Amino acid sequence: MSDEASAAGRRVVVTGLGAVSSLGLGARAVTSAIRAGRSGIGPIGQFDGTGFERSLAGEVRGFHAEMHLRGTDPARWGRSGRFAAAAARMAVTDAGANPAALSAGRTASCFGTTNGESQVLEELTQQWVDDGLAALDPVLAGRGDAGRIAAAVSAELDLSGESVTLGTACAAGNYAIGYGFDLVRTGEADAALCGGADASNRATHAGFHRLGALAADVPRPFDEHRDGIVTAEGAAALLLEPLDTALARGARIYAEVLGYGMTCDARHMTNPDAASIAECIRRAHDHAGIKPGDVDYICAHGTGTKANDSTETAAVREVFTDGPPPISSIKSMLGHTMGAAAGFGALVCCAALSEGFLPPSATLREVDPALGPGLDCVQGRARATRPRIVQNHGFAFGGNNAVTIFGEFTA
Amino acid sequence: MSIVDEQQRPAATSRTVVPVALDTVGVVSAAGVGLGPLADALRRGGADGGQPPATGEAESYPPLTLRPADFPAADLLGTKGLNRLTRAEQLGMAACTLALEPLSDRSGTGVVLGSAVGSSGGVGRFTRDTFVQERPYLVNPSAFPGTLMNAAAGRTAIRHGLTDANATVSGGPLASLHALRFARNTLVAGHARRLLTGGVEELSPQSAWVWYRAGSLAPRVALGEGAAVFALRTVPDGATGVNPLAHVMAVETGFAAGGPLAVARRLTICVRDAIARSGLGAADIAVVAPGAAGRRGWAAVEERALGAALDGPGHRHQLRVQEVLGETHGASVALQVAAVVARWHDPHLDTRGERAALVTSVGPDGSAGCAVLLHPHAGA
């Protein structure tokens, strides 16, 4: 690290990973499923799928919050909050961190979401439809706030630092990680649990369905015959600590957070913009103090729509003028977990740096030739190789872009 | 004896914060548009409000006193596409537009808005359609983006070409306070040169029924709505041709899971830390704008914390924003900040002796926090 960089604040590392996903519970389950190219996509079970012509989703199965939450009553929180709290608890356990020390320090909880406590809002709406607004359940009525996602994490771990939920749609996980990174780097927080969470719900499924953006079976990012996204749910959590603290307690270090960048397209609510994404990547590189040639792998936003692939690839080509590094999409296996998506990307990036692999685009058959020559999308299964610097993309409706950069930790 | 167990939690980092200049304000509320009507309403102790947003066939308002924002949306935003915007988008965009108006150079500008869920009415109606339409997916596609929490911030960016950091922050009554802290940290970290920062909350039949059925409004408090947005920049970023209306000093937030007393203790710590990190003492706080008065049971929690942190009530001016504008939930802290600025720029008052103001809030989940503002004549 240069003197200039050290003047910018403390070095920040990722020491714990937690996940609640369609590919399993815990970071290890997710990582091994992704390395094997397994799919978490299956029939919708979280809401009544009757009448939908597209009825597959990446749902979390077999999750019993009471088996994971020790510090708070799961019944207090909505499904998104329970996911986040469980993932955060797993990240703390995974880190071998002392929960009492995290609780005693200024530990922040920063989580991103697209739809907040969408199942609570859906249940309230069902009550409205059935019996009128005057029949809303008073207890449920107090549980719809999106901010309860980060609050559930703070309550579970008895954290006293700030508890902030970023509603920056599908880039929100990267916003949360970037913000948590700045908090720890600048000393505003002693540590940060950050990531993203969202629950499956019929409004999101219906919205993408109506836009014609849902895939018939599985999402196939970068494939010539891709036909859309698959809605999904889950939560991913990262424990961020100052390097000094992590070294002092002999923690295993997955990766170092090197920097991040944010831009807004300011052009269209739903169509992404390549120039703005390219600028976001450049800002992330500048913030991390790296050059495009330093990046060994890109964890793509890669939703599975043509618009995403052509825009994302164009943006990458604009920045990586000597040719893009390998780029793949874990949404091929997880589906689109909305506000958790960039959190899962970050988690997998950390595992990739630590274990030495590149995550695959598991469902890819033929790379769309329209995306141009020489695009390495890591087809099929994970590739054993040791990346040193990786880049994680998150883009959203509303034109919100955020890119995080992680590096292999070397003492 | 202090209610704070000093051994329980460590103090915040003791470093003094760098000031952030608050150059302009855009505000729409029950008092009307802008700081002048807000200052008048604060002096009068009440605002009439506008007309409540229209309801559909399946909706009506519960028996609550409503204090809708009084703003000519078409005059502020134009008529083109106006009816496709949710109420939250109209309010947020109007406040951002007003805050941006005096600024000639808009480069390097982003948007950070606090909101509980975005458009409560928009989400409710869209979700309802998935139950009542012939097929669940036969929802209105053009209404889909408006159901996202970040719709107001995103559409504002599109309208004004604001390509820098664009964030939406939730957190119930603290949403705008979190937005303020997020913006402070983001500016100081260098991710943008200027951030339009504040909060927005719409009144809808859906949100009104939620408040009514949960029984969470304090007695005699109306349910309101509105938006307040501030153009914030780091001070060394040089001349903008605008004299700051105030400076945002420390913004501290924290969490306590152990119930109201624990939340009061956390707020006490936040207030002490914020005053210290602003380079001030309790005696410098001349104005207090508390935020919990609109929520049943929480005003006492906030008062207890303030009493402990400020060593008693003292001779401070109390800005009772909820009495005037109603409970505005996710927008409330932004409207409290706007109220402080309105007071400091009220031509009918001489406030030059008021060095600093404290804006506080607590939330039912366990969040607590505050912001310290410095009077423009106090120098930052």
Complex ipTM: 0.97
Is a pLDDT exceeding 50 seen at residue A2?
Answer: no
Query: Which alpha helices (DSSP H) does A262-322 contain, by range?
Result: 274-288, 306-319
Q: Among all residues of chain B, which has the CA nearest to that of A54?
A: B137
Q: What is the distance between the alpha carbons of residues A272 and A376, in angstroms, rounded to a whole number?
A: 22
Q: Do B167 and A166 touch (CB under 8 A)?
A: yes
Q: Is B144 on the interface with A (CB under 8 A)?
A: yes
Q: What is the pTM of this model?
A: 0.97
* 3-class SS shares of chain B: helix, strand, coil, % to 5: 40, 20, 40
Choosing from A170, A299, A350, A377, which is the catalytic residue? A170
- Measured CA to CA in angstroms, residue A297 lies from A59, A326, A397, A400 at distances of 27, 5, 24, 22
Confidence (pLDDT) at B7: 42
Over residues A98-121, mean pLDDT:
97
Confidence (pLDDT) at B5: 45
Candidate from A145, A162, A264 with C-beta closest to B181: A162
**Nearest alpha-carbon partner for B374 in B360, B359, B355, B350:** B355
A264 catalytic per annotation: no
Over residues A192-215, mean pLDDT:
98
**Nearest alpha-carbon partner for B152 in B71, B100, B95, B208:** B95
List, for chain B, all residue ranges whose pLDDT scores fall below the cut of 70: 1-14, 236-241, 313, 380
Q: Among all residues of chain B, which has the CA nearest to that of A115?
A: B148
Hey, of B17, B137, B140, which one would you mutate to test binding to chain A, going by the most A CBs within 10 A of its CB? B137
Candidate from A148, A149, A167 with C-beta closest to B150: A167
Choosing from A287, A301, A350, A377, which is the catalytic residue? A301
Confidence (pLDDT) at B3: 43
- Average pLDDT of the residues of chain A: 96
Higher per-residue confidence, A13 vs B380 = A13
- A134 interaction partners in chain B (CB closer than 8 Å): 62, 209, 213
Confidence (pLDDT) at B239: 55
- B361 interaction partners in chain A (CB closer than 8 Å): none
Q: Do A154 and B364 touch (CB under 8 A)?
A: no
A349 catalytic per annotation: no
Is a pLDDT exceeding 60 seen at residue A158?
Answer: yes
Q: How many helices (H) and strands (E) does chain A have?
A: 14, 15
Q: What is the distance between the alpha carbons of residues B336 and B228, in angstroms, rounded to a whole number?
A: 9
Question: What band does A5 get if pLDDT is binned at 50, 70 and 90?
Answer: very low
